[in-house]
Structure formats: structure tokens, C-alpha cells
Amino acid sequence: MTRSFEKVGVVGLGTMGAGIAEVFARAGLGVTGVEADPAALERGRGHLEGSTGRALAKGRLTEAERAEILGRVTFTTSLEDLADADLVIEAIPEVMDFKRALFTDLDRICKPSAVLATNTSSLSVTEIAATTARPGQVVGMHFFNPAPIMKLVEVIHTVTTEDGLAEEVAALARRLGKTPVSVGDRAGFVVNRLLLTYLNHAAVLLENGLATRDDIDAAMKLGVGLPMGPFTLLDLIGLDTSYEVLCVLFQESRDRRHAPAPILRELVTAGLLGRKAGGGFHRDEEPGGPPPTVKPSVGSVAVLGEGAEEFTAKLSAAGFKTASAEAADVVVALSRNPVIELAAGLPHPERLVGLHLVGDGVAEVASTVLTSAEAARAVEGLVRIVGRTPVRCRDRAEFVVDALLYPYLNDAVRMYDSGYATVEDIDSAMRLGCGYPSGPFEMLDELGLETVRDGLRALYAEYREPSFAPAPLLDQLVTAGVRSIRDLP
């Protein structure tokens, strides 16, 4: 049966619901917006008027279009007004008991053919569906904030969802001008599951003292080209929201990488929720920008490792003297893996610094337990002279960028292999939901499956974290000589 979705209901007109109501109304559907009480209803109306008013001011809507959009929305505090809706989407707070109670009511009130959808970010759609007598007609329709702008909609089907319904809801999302991706019902779906795991990992590495907040942020922004670093993003999402989503992920997976880093709990308990309240990882605005690019006073430099010749040539061109590793004042070891063994073999181990060049803009500057502060500072200076941003870090496997990026890519491979989303859907979810320049499978293709597999092996050997072990599928692809997961039959 092909359904026609013409009349929709939106329950809860807060941050998300008001935006979702606007999206439906803009696409020409009749919308009934339901709020808990008259005051909240007025706030919801205000959100819609405000948002369309801003679009008008920016010239994105005409006065007539705005009036037409607002004219399609009816506001009410009575759920009974949803009796003839074709689809009802719920956007009330993220509390399972509230959602269950609401779906029980909706099931009683709505016509038998109506589809019921939830905008939950992390709760089980299956559990919500199970409170109704129509679990086959319940789906997740996960919009992103701000709903009128963000293109992605995750359409979640459960084991009880009727065949074909998710496709019909996806077609509706396309009619709204959105890009739907189809996902099974696992905590966090695609975006929150992959994103929050990565963000939590960054918080754990910060707590372990791998690098500072700003160094990790710079590494991911400048080294990978992400729109912002993990701590800036955590502050933007809200540390309370992030903490809650991680708890839900952990409850389902029991994977300790989903256990919120203790620093998140501490900041949330202190009321430091991020940008919306109190500041979070970022609080005081530090004065000044990066230190000026002053040529470090280094007598002589030696460069070791793969790419040494090219880097030595750059340093020579910048006017630095080079010498042997035994005699140089500073020894730079180009590496992505710990350099302590190399340092320990030198007459002056305190002069050796690990250096990993990431992309065109970043260089990770790794200090071992023996590296002197002067040597590390000198290498930071050298790095600036050759036009890169230094990221100071400890001497750990895969240093910073790869230590954060590779487990995220591995998680994406596992997600695909578990059959709950396709390669294309995972890629577009991460591009559209997070503004990433490319999806994880595109990144894998660019980096090379073998490089990532080997990096994961090194990470596993260092941290003994079970989920850092390369996904069996990744291992098999490398062994079979397959260059891209897309080449699989």
C-alpha cells in the first residue's frame, strides 16, 4: 500500500518540533502542532514565527510565502485533534516514560492507518513501538538541529516495522527536501553512535594527558579538515546531552568506549554544560592567538625516518644547519609511532623528538619521557617555520590524529558489517549530519585500507582496547587485496 502523507501532526514544539513543523509546512503539508499547555503552545508558535521571520529578513522567503507556511499550521493543546492525521511525529523530551505514555495515547487517538514516528536521538524505537497495538506502523524519523536547515534525516526501522514503510517515509523525507538514510534500531543510530564514540575517545585521551584540549582540537580541525575540534563540538552539542547519549550507548553495547569519560560527568555536575550554560571544556577566552613564528635558535638538526631527505631539504632551505643524529642539537624522528626506542639508542636521548606530518597543515610533535623541554620547543619552532601548526603530544602509538580517526573508521566498518546501514548511507549521514568533508568510507579509500588496518593494529598493541583491533572485514579486505569496500560484489 502506498500511503499519502498530507496531514501531519507534530507533538512538542520545542527546539526540534517547531523546526520539524516548519519543514512540513514549507513542503505544503497541513500541520497540527500539539503542545503540553497554552504557555508552551505560545512559545512553540513563537519559534515558528521567529524562524520564518528570520528567513524573511534574509530574503529567503517572501511575505506571502511566510503567511502561507504559517497558515498551514494549526496550534492546539489537544492530542484528540490528531485523529485524522496521516503521520504524527513526536518531539517531546528524551525520556522513555514520557514517550511511552504519549505513544499509548496516540495509538488510541489516531486513525488505524496513521504512521507514528519518533524524533528520538537515542532511545529504542522498538521499545516505543511496543507500547502501541500498531508496532508495524512505528518508525524513527530523526531530524537534526536546526531542522529547517540540516538536510539529513535518519529513518529508523525496527524488526517489527512493516515492509516498505521505511521506504515510504524516506520518500516523504525527500519530498521535504531532505536526504534520508535508512538505519536499523541501534542506540545512537548512525551519526550519534559514530560521533559520540569519537568525541568520548577524545575526552579519554585528554584525561590520559596525550595532548591538551587546544592541541587535540587543532589536530582534528587542521589535520583532518573537520569543521571543528572535538572539544569545541562537545561544548556546542552540550555536555549533558553528550553524557546522556553515551549512557544510552553504553547501556546497549557494554563497550567501555561508550562509558562517558569521567571528565564529562565532572563538568556536567559542576553545571558546566557547554556553550549553552557555564562554558564546558572552553571557559576562559585565552588572550592572543598562536605564538609568533620566530626562528628557533637551533645549532644543528638531524632528521631520521621515512621522508627525512625531503624534510631536511626544507630545513636547509629555511637556513638550518644539519648534522648527524649523534652530533645534532636536535634530532627529529619522522614517525607515527613511538620513538622512545630510537631515543634510547642515542648518546643524547633528550634531544630526540617524534614528528608526524599530518596532511599539509599539521605536525604532531611528540615528546618522550626523556625529551627535554628545549628540544620540544625547538621542534615546535621548526614546524612553524615550515608552515605547519604544531600539535604537542606524548609519545604514544599513532600520536593524536590517527589515534582518534582510525578507531572511528573501524567503528564504521563494523557498523556496515553488522548490516544495519549501507556504506553510502553511513557516508552521507556523517557528511550531512556532522558537516564532515567526507564520510568514513571515503576517508578509508583515501588513506588506504592497509594503512588504517596497520594503524589499528599498532593502537591495539599499545592500548589493548578490544575495539581497536581491526574489524575482521577490514582485515579480510586487506588480505584479499581489495582496495575499497565499495569493490565488494
**136 is an interface residue for ligand NAD by CB under 6 A:** no
Residues 6+ apart with CB under 8 A from 277: 271
**121 is an interface residue for ligand NAD by CB under 6 A:** yes
Sign of CA dihedral 100, 102, 108, 113: negative
- Could you confirm whether 372 is annotated as catalytic? no
- Could you confirm whether 145 is annotated as catalytic? no
| One residue of 5, 7, 9, 17 binding ligand NAD per CB under 6 A | 17
As measured in angstroms, the least distance from the Cβ of 474 to ligand NAD is 30
How many other C-beta atoms can be found within 10 angstroms of the C-beta atom of residue 486?
13
* Residue of closest CB approach to ligand NAD: 14
**51 is an interface residue for ligand NAD by CB under 6 A:** no
Residues 6+ apart with CB under 8 A from 480: none
| Residue 66-105 contact track with ligand NAD, rule CB under 6 A, x = bound | -------------------------xxxx---x---x---
Q: How far apart are CA 19 and CA 17, in angstroms?
A: 5
- Could you confirm whether 142 is annotated as catalytic? yes
As measured in angstroms, the least distance from the Cβ of 63 to ligand NAD is 27
**35 is an interface residue for ligand NAD by CB under 6 A:** yes
As measured in angstroms, the least distance from the Cβ of 177 to ligand NAD is 18
**120 is an interface residue for ligand NAD by CB under 6 A:** yes
- Give the DSSP letter of residue 278: B
Preceding peptide of 38 cis, ω within 30°:
no
- Could you confirm whether 208 is annotated as catalytic? no
As measured in angstroms, the least distance from the Cβ of 37 to ligand NAD is 7
**16 is an interface residue for ligand NAD by CB under 6 A:** yes
Cell of 166: 521505511
As measured in angstroms, the least distance from the Cβ of 227 to ligand NAD is 16
Beta bridge partners of 364: 356, 391
**Between 13 and 366, whose beta carbon lies closer to ligand NAD?**
13
As measured in angstroms, the least distance from the Cβ of 147 to ligand NAD is 8
Cell of 479: 588480505
**Between 246 and 383, whose beta carbon lies closer to ligand NAD?**
246
**192 is an interface residue for ligand NAD by CB under 6 A:** no
Cell of 362: 599539521
Number of helices (H) and strands (E), helices first, in the chain?
Answer: 19, 14
**What is the per-residue burial (b if ≥16 Cβ within 10 Å, else e) of 1-18?**
eebebebbbbbbbbebbb
Cα dihedral value 457, 433, 154, 33, nearest 10: 150
Residue 396 and residue 403 in contact, taking contact as beta carbons nearer than 8 Å: yes
Interacting residue ranges for ligand NAD, rule: CB under 6 A: 11-17, 34-36, 40, 91-94, 98, 102, 119-121, 143-145
Which residues are known to be catalytic?
A: 121, 142, 154, 192
